[in-house]
Amino acid sequence: MRLVKCRNPWGLKEWGGDWSDGSDKWTDELKTLLKVEQKDDGVFFISYEDYLHFYKETVICKYLNGGDLSVIEDEQGTCEFCV
């Protein structure tokens, strides 16, 4: 299984399907290994296949833990489904 770990920097929405925080696909061992927490923090896992199917755009930015510069604007427009 190939998983993608994503972070929504605004923390307002998370994936809710397979491999989401509350998914029954997780084993206790995998949750511990990948540090999966069931909380609405904007961080989530999604299968690579679902990622390709459901997301048409991805913005990659440098994350500074706790800093207010963790989101860097780019030339692309934003939309409701940008993560």
Residue 23 has what pLDDT? 93
Please tell me the distance from the alpha carbon of residue 1 to that of residue 48, in angstroms, as a whole number.
8
Residue 15 near residue 58 (C-beta atoms within 8 A): no
Going from the C-alpha of 2 to that of each of 21, 55, 65, 79, the distances in angstroms are 16, 16, 26, 26
Q: What does the pLDDT read at residue 9?
A: 72
Q: Domain residue spans in the chain?
A: 1-83
Mean per-residue pLDDT of the chain: 78
**Would you state the pLDDT for residue 19?**
95
pLDDT, tens digit, 9 for 90 and up, residues 17-75 = 999 988 999 999 999 999 898 888 888 999 999 999 998 888 777 666 655 554 544 44
